[in-house]
Structure formats: C-alpha cells, structure tokens
C-alpha cells in the first residue's frame, strides 16, 4: 500500500475531505443556489449544502434541500436583496441581520461561488443574539440613567464590593431604604436591606440579583421599598456587575431611580387601555351585528336578483318554445286533415315544417346547455387556424357582400382541446353578431394568437395562469357601452328588436368556453367597434384532427341485418322510434328500459354487437355504469351513448375509451344510422 506524503493536500473534490473541512468550522456554513420561482427570475434560493454548525447557530435541522420562501416566507425579500447583490456583483459582504425564522440575530459573511451562471453564494455566519441582547440591555440602562439625570430622578447610588461583601451606599440610598445614612457608609448586609423591600417583591429581587452575579454585565429591576415615612414607593435599580478575567464577580456599582410618578402614569394608562378595550369589544359586537344585518340584506337582494333572472329566463323560454310548439302542433294538425282529405301531396311540406321546428328547439336547448356548461361535449385536439379556414366561405355568405372578412392566422399556433362542432357554432355566432352590429357594412377580422397569461393577466380573465390559444372576432360597428358589456353574456339579454334575436348567442359562447377550460372577454367602446376574444387552454399532445366536420345528412341504405343491437332507454317513445329506425336498416334489435333489465337481456343473449344506451337511466345505474359492466368481459364491445342532458362527469369529461361515441338528442335517423354503421365496423349492416 502506498502512502501519500504528509505535505500533499487531499484532493479538493474529495467529498470526505470537504465534509471534514466544513465540520471543522464552528460557525454555521451553507451554500445557496438561486432558482426561478412563481415570483419571477431569481425569486428564491435552495440550500444545497450545510454543515452541522448551521443547526448549532440557528436551531434549524435538515436545511439542505429547503427553499428560502419555505423557511422564512415573510422576510424572504430581505435575504434575496442582500445575497442577490452578492451574486450579481461578486462582492463579498459582511453584515448583521435578524433571522426571524430562527428568532436569532446572526453575523454573516457572504461570497459568490464561481461565475454568476452557477447562481451560487456561500454563507458563513454565527449566532450573536446574546451579544445583541447584552448591548441592548446596556444601551437601555444608559438611556434610563440619562433620562433620570435629566429629570433629576436619581435618588441614590451604591457600590457593592463582592469579595469583601461590603455594601456602601450614599445618603439618598439610605433614605430610600429607610436606614440611617451612617450605616450606609460603614457598609451593610444585603439581608438587612431586604427587610425594607415590599414582601411581594423580595423573592423576585433576590432571584434577579443572583442572575446578575452569575452572568455579569448589566442589571435593571423595579421593586418597592419602605421609606422613613413608613410607606412603600416604586424605584428602579440600575447597575453593572464587573467580572475578573477568571469570570468571578468583583464589583457591583449602581444607581437608584425614582419611578413612583412614572408607575402612577403607567397605572393610569393601563386603566385607560382597559376601558378602551371594553369599549372596543362593545363596538366590535355592534359592528358584527351591523355586518350580519348587511349580509342578510345582501343575501335577500341576491335572492331577489336570482328570482328576477329565473323569471326572465323562463319567460324567454316560454316565448320561444311556444312559437316552436305552435309550428309543430299546427303542422301535425294539417297533416291529419290532409290525410283525411286524401291530399297526400301536401304531407311532405307540413312534415318539413315540423322537422324544421324540431331543429330550432334542439338548437335552443343546446344553447341553454352551453350557457349552463352542461352540454355533452366531444372534445378533440384542434387547430383553430384550420377551423377558421374551413369556415371562411360559410362566414362570407352569412355576413353578406357589404362586409369584408379578413383572417389573420398566427404562425406556429398551438393546438387546443375542444368540441370542434361547438367551436364552429361559437365562431359563427360571433360573426353573425358582428354582422348585426354593422348594418351599413364594414370590416370583420378573425384573428388567432398564442397567449401567455401571467398571474395578473389570468386573474383579470378569471382563469389559471398558463398558455392559451385565443380566437378573436373584431368589427367596425357601433360598439357597446360599459353597461351593455357587463350584461352581454346574460341569457336572453339582447339589444336587438323583438323577434330578431333570442339573446342566447353570446351566453352560449360564454358557457362553451368555460366548459372547455377557458373564458371569453369583450373589449368595446361606443362608436369604436367591438372585439370578442375566446381564450382556450393550450393542448400539448397529438395534433388536431383533419376532418373538422362530418356530413350530417348522408343517407344510409337499409339492408337485411345480421348484427344485433341492444337499445336501452327509459323513455318508451324514444326507445320505440330508435328500435324501428334500426330494424328498418336491417339490424336485429333487443330493448330494455333500465340498467338491471339490460343486464338480464345480456345474460340471455350473449351475441350483442353494439350497446346503444341513454346516459340518464333510472333504478341506480346510469348509462356509463351499464356500459362498463357489459364491457368488463367484452372490452371491445362498441357503445353509443345517446343523451339529451348529460353531466360531463358521467362521460369522463369527453375522454371516452376506444369504441365509445356520444350522440345528442334529438337526432335525425340518418345521423343515427351513420353512427351505428361506424361503430359496428362494416359497410353493409346485413353483412352482404
């Protein structure tokens, strides 16, 4: 075995040598590394190394790995300013500072470690709390003596020679303790002086004197003594115990200060504070009672506003649905009359009218669900630039030739995760609103952008901080007043004449954006046009889908079927219509009214190729639970959820498993046929 020469230093990178070196330092030592945090660049630092002296001088254990804002959140900026300057300038600093988390004062020397890019600062420190307290006590005694001298309050002095236990006092001291002056000059014993101290103060006074003799240094204590008139008066003794180099007390000189007047003032002050506290408590009780009354009044006002909003909502719904029902009822009545008359040629016209009214009712329901954030969404990764480009022609036709449509597509636009059909509806709604704001023509601008929302920007928009994709629609129309902007998203609120708008367009956009994790904001001034901006969270993952919209009216021919479909719906009429449509297409159809009966059907007939179920089912099992139970032994079984109102949580917020789709009521027979055909996975339902 070879030994290195004694003069050769251990390697600098040796962890054992480094540890031994740090532990040899009695002072506290640590290395901190600045990091970027929520408060900005270099807004925090982490302790990456420390010796055992750190614990000795602060009382804090396990500091390595902890951040400053975790250890001392309320005073973090003070340390960041000091050490940040060391990091940026490279200059060593020495200072004293209170370490509030440790309740100590420390004396510090801080130096940058390496280049500024390392972001590291070394800190060497020691606990100087005891010294600071001694200095503070000494300063306090000096200040008291100076104040007493200025006020003429010093009434006596003493010198206590500790080795000989000779206690010499002047005339004023002797008078304060009610003893003859000549006794003080000859020297008296401490026990004799204690006889003049108030009985309630003797034990504490003896303890304080023993403490001063044990530690040395400054001494101050207040107590009462009996004077020659037999009454007790308050005084304060101030002195200092002098120690020999060996740490033995040698002399204890001091002065007596008359504080009787001051104590009287303090007593009066205490009485006044007690009275003030009583008054404050009474006042606080009154304030609490008044606040409770105001809160009750505000709650009553909110309830009244809610009832007004409900009244407005139900009134608007009744108006629109009565119009729709009148169209459906009238069309059905005319069809009945024409059938009785044998006029079959007129049936199709009335049938189309009824179907048109049904579509209007479905659209109104979807807008209501969008506003309440309860519509069933089918979100996918989407490219807003592609959606805007695909709708450019439709938007141009919708707004008319008097309005110039301009699109500004951001380069490198992030994807977002939305229901593409609802996104298209929202965009079309905004463009139609912009058209109505420009009756004499103008310019409509559709713009996309990537947005970083910091804490302030996100708070202003009511969303979490982060990355967002924005889609804004701007017009050069009449603009909106602040009062109109404040109410623009309210359901059924509209500035259009009666019969020219339902007041659900913007509320639908608002609800859709909120349900998608984003928000909508309006920026407008009267006479300056308006901009409505949708903010949607960035989606990090696979790219957007290429097929932005599927044909909704494609016809699927009927064919003899070999595929078996289980239809589950608690509404008999809907179930009957669905079963007849599927049988007309050539499928073999089984039916059930709820989850338990559907499970019994599955037990009796294992050859099922598709489950078509309503989401909201009675008797303790919803459609999603039914699908999970049936798919447990058959995970590849296709499922088509059909719903008119489904809480998104039931459908896992649109994140469905492979082989699952959602169809919203009401639906056309062709749409149902196409969805079923896609899920059973063959071109011909009959297998031909």
Domain limits for position 438: 375-539
Please tell me whether residues 380 and 500 are part of one structural domain. yes
Q: How far is Cα 648 from Cα 253, in angstroms, rounded to an integer?
A: 84
Supply the CATH number for residue 530's domain. Answer: 3.30.565.10
Q: What CATH number is attached to the domain comprising 663?
A: 3.40.50.2300
Q: Residue 470: inside a domain, yes or no?
A: yes
What pTM did the predictor assign? 0.36
Q: What pLDDT, on the 0 to 100 scale, is given for residue 639?
A: 93
151 domain residue, yes or no: yes
Rounded CA separation 126/135 (Å):
17
Helices (H), 437-496: 455-461, 482-487
Round to whole Å and give the CA distance between 576 and 11.
87
| Residue 404 shares a structural domain with residue 522 | yes
Q: What is the tens place of the pLDDT at every residue in 258-313?
A: 888 777 777 778 787 877 777 777 777 777 777 788 877 777 776 665 555 555 55
More confident residue, 147 or 530: 530
More confident residue, 274 or 160: 160
| CATH for 29 | 3.30.450.20
Give the domain-ending residue among 206, 239, 258.
258
Residues 363 and 380 occupy one common structural domain: no
The reported pLDDT for the residue numbered 685 is 44
Q: Give whole-number Cα distances, 292 to 277, 286, 570, in Å.
A: 22, 10, 48
Quickly tell me which residue has 């020659």 as its tokens.
Answer: 228
Residues with Cβ within 8 Å of 276's Cβ and at least 6 positions away in sequence, in order, are: none
Indicate if the pLDDT at residue 131 is higher than 70.
yes
What pLDDT shows up at residue 590?
93
Residues 320 and 402 in one domain: no
Residue 600 lies in a domain: yes
Do both 439 and 351 map to the same domain? no
**Among 334-343, 366-375, 406-415, 501-510, the least confident range:** 366-375
**Matching residue, tokens 């062709």:** 670
Collapse the DSSP code of 242 into the 3-class scheme (helix H, G, I; strand E, B; otherwise coil) and give the result.
strand
What is the DSSP secondary-structure string of 524-585? E-TTS-EEEEEEEEEE-SSPPPS-----SS----------EEEEE-S-HHHHHHHHHHHHHT
Cβ distance 404 to 423 under 8 Å? no
Please tell me whether residue 60 adopts helix, strand or coil conformation.
coil
CA nearest neighbour of 46 among 83, 17, 14: 83
In the prediction, which pLDDT does 238 show?
87
Minimal CA–CA distance to 535: which of 473, 596, 469? 469
- Report the distance separating Cα 289 and Cα 309, nearest Å: 30
Alpha-carbon distance of 404 to 28, in angstroms, equals 72
Report the number of distinct structural domains present in the chain.
5
Which own/partner pairs from 114-119 qualify as long-range (CB within 8 Å, at least 24 positions apart)? 116/87, 116/88, 116/90, 118/33, 119/33, 119/34, 119/35, 119/42, 119/45, 119/87
Assess whether 113 and 161 both reside in one domain: no
Same domain, yes or no: 139 and 121? no
Last residue of a domain, one of 335, 369, 403: 369
Question: Which among 186, 160, 189, 137 has a CA at the least distance from the CA of 249?
Answer: 160
Q: Is the pLDDT of residue 656 over 90?
A: no
Q: Please indicate, yes or no, if residue 633 is contained in any of the structural domains.
A: yes
**Are 307 and 404 found together in one domain?**
no
Q: What tokens appear for 594 in the block?
A: 């709820």
Residues 161 and 103 occupy one common structural domain:
no
The three-class DSSP label of residue 327 is: helix
Asked whether residue 4 is assigned to any structural domain, the reply reads no
Per the model's pLDDT, the better-predicted residue between 176 and 523 turns out to be 523
| Spatial separation of the C-alpha atoms in residues 327 and 501, rounded to whole Å | 18
Give the whole-number percent of the chain exceeding pLDDT 90: 24
Structure tokens at 473: 């629609």
Structure tokens at 277: 């506290």
| Together in a domain, 136 and 121 | no
The fraction of the chain above a pLDDT of 70, given in percent, is 78
**Res. 183: pLDDT tops 70:** no
Residue 498 has pLDDT above 80, yes or no: no
Q: Reply yes or no on whether the pLDDT at 162 is more than 80.
A: yes
**Average pLDDT over the chain, rounded to whole?**
79
Alpha helix segments (H runs only) across 372-497: 384-399, 420-436, 455-461, 482-487
Identify the H or E element spanning 208.
helix 202-215
Distance CA 62, CA 176 (A): 55
Alpha carbons 188 and 159: distance in angstroms, whole number: 11
> Of 75, 74, 79, whose CA–CA distance to 30 is shortest?
79
Q: Calculate the CA 331 to chain-centre distance.
A: 54
Give 561's pLDDT tier (boundaries 50, 70, 90): low
Between 573 and 97, the higher pLDDT residue: 97
- pLDDT band of residue 31 (cuts 50, 70, 90) is very high
Poorest-pLDDT segment among 86-90, 196-200, 393-397: 393-397
Which residues share a beta bridge with 449? 470
Q: Is the pLDDT of residue 552 over 50?
A: no
CA pair distance 95, 39, nearest whole angstrom: 26
Q: In this predicted structure, what is the pLDDT of residue 127?
A: 92
Q: Phi/psi of residue 155, each to 5°?
A: -110, -10
Closest CA to 512 of 372, 646, 662, 631: 372
* Within a domain: 5: no
Specify which of 9-23, 62-76, 162-176, 500-514 reaches the highest per-range mean pLDDT: 62-76
Cis check: omega of the bond before 666, within 30 degrees of 0? yes
Q: What is the longest distance spanned by two Cα atoms in the chain?
A: 143
Mean pLDDT of 420-426: 83
Residue 553 lies in a domain: no
- How far is residue 688's CA from residue 682's CA, in Å, rounded to a whole number? 10
Q: Other C-beta atoms within 10 Å of 269: how many?
A: 10
Task: Report the pLDDT value the prediction gives residue 318, as an integer from 0 to 100.
Answer: 58
Is 585 a residue whose pLDDT tops 70? yes
Q: Which residue has the higher pLDDT, 482 or 79?
A: 79
> Average of pLDDT values for 554-575?
71
Shared domain for 510 and 570, answered yes or no, is no
Q: What's residue 11's pLDDT?
A: 45
Distance of CA 89 to the CA centre of its chain: 36
Q: Do 452 and 522 belong to one domain?
A: yes
pLDDT digits (tens, 9 = 90+) for 35-68: 998 888 999 999 999 999 999 999 999 999 999 9
Residue 7 lies in a domain: no
Final residue of a structural domain among 316, 349, 369: 369
Contact 251, 160 (CB under 8 A): yes
C-alpha torsion angle, residues 186, 189, 190, 194 (rounded to 10): -100
């Amino acid at each position: 075995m070879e030994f290195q020469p004694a003069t050769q230093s251990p390697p600098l990178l040796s962890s054992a040598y480094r540890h031994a070196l740090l532990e040899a330092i009695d002072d506290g030592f640590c290395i901190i590394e600045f990091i970027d945090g929520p408060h900005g660049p270099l807004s925090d630092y982490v302790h990456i190394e420390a010796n055992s002296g750190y614990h000795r001088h602060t009382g804090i254990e396990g500091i390595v790995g902890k951040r400053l804002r975790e250890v001392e959140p309320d005073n973090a900026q003070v340390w960041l300013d000091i050490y940040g300057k060391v990091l940026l300038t490279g200059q060593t600093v020495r200072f004293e500072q209170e370490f509030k988390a440790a309740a100590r004062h420390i004396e510090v020397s801080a130096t940058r470690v390496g280049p500024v890019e390392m972001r590291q600062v070394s800190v060497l420190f020691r606990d100087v709390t005891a010294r600071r307290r001694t200095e503070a006590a000494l300063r306090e005694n000096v200040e008291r003596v100076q104040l007493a001298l200025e006020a003429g309050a010093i009434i006596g002095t003493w010198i206590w020679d500790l080795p000989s236990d000779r206690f010499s006092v002047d005339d004023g001291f002797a008078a304060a303790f009610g003893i003859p002056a000549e006794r003080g000059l000859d020297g008296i014993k401490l026990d004799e002086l204690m006889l003049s101290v108030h009985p309630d103060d003797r034990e504490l006074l003896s303890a304080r004197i023993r403490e001063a003799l044990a530690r040395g240094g400054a001494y101050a204590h207040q107590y009462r003594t009996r004077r020659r008139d037999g009454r007790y008066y308050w005084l304060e003794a101030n002195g200092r115990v002098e120690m020999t180099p060996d740490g033995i007390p040698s002399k204890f000189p001091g002065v007596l200060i008359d504080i009787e007047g001051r104590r009287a003032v303090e007593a009066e002050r205490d009485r006044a504070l007690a009275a003030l506290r009583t008054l404050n408590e009474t006042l606080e009780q009154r304030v609490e009672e008044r606040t409770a009354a105001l809160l009750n009044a505000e709650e009553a006002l909110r309830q009244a506003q809610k009832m007004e909003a409900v009244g407005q909502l139900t009134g608007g719904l009744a108006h629109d649905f009565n119009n729709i029902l009148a169209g459906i009822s009238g069309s059905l009545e005319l069809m009945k009359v024409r059938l009785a008359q044998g006029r079959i040629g007129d049936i199709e016209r009335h049938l189309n009218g009824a179907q048109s009214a049904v579509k209007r009712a479905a659209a109104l329901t979807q807008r209501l669900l969008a506003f309440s954030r309860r519509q069933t969404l089918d979100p996918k990764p989407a490219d807003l630039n592609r959606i805007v480009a695909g709708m450019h022609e439709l938007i141009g036709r919708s707004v008319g030739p008097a309005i110039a449509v301009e699109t500004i597509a951001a380069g490198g636009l992030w994807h977002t995760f939305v229901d593409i059909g609802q996104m298209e509806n929202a965009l079309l709604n905004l463009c139609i609103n912009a058209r109505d704001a420009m009756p004499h023509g103008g310019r409509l601008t559709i713009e996309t952008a990537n947005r970083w929302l910091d804490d302030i920007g996100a708070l202003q928009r009511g969303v979490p901080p982060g990355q967002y994709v924005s889609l804004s629609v701007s017009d050069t129309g009449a603009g909106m007043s602040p009062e109109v902007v404040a109410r623009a998203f309210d359901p059924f609120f509209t500035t259009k004449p009666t019969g020219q708008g339902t007041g659900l367009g913007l509320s639908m956009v608002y609800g859709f954006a909120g349900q998608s994790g984003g928000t909508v904001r309006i920026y407008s001034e009267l006479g300056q046009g308006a901009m409505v901006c949708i903010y949607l969270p960035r989606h990090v993952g696979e790219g957007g889908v290429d097929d932005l919209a599927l044909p909704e009216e494609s016809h699927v021919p009927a064919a003899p079927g070999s595929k078996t479909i289980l239809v589950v719906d608690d509404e008999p009429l809907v179930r009957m219509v669905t079963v007849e449509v599927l049988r007309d297409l050539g499928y073999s159809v089984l039916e059930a009214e709820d989850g338990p009966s559907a499970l019994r059907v599955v037990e009796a007939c294992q050859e099922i190729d598709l489950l078509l179920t309503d989401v909201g089912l009675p008797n303790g099992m919803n459609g999603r639970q039914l699908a999970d139970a049936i798919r447990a032994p058959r995970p590849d079984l296709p499922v088509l959820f059909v719903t008119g109102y489904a809480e998104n949580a039931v459908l896992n917020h649109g994140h469905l498993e492979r082989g699952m789709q959602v169809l919203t009521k009401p639906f056309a027979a062709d749409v149902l046929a196409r969805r079923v055909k896609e899920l059973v996975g063959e071109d011909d339902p009959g297998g031909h």
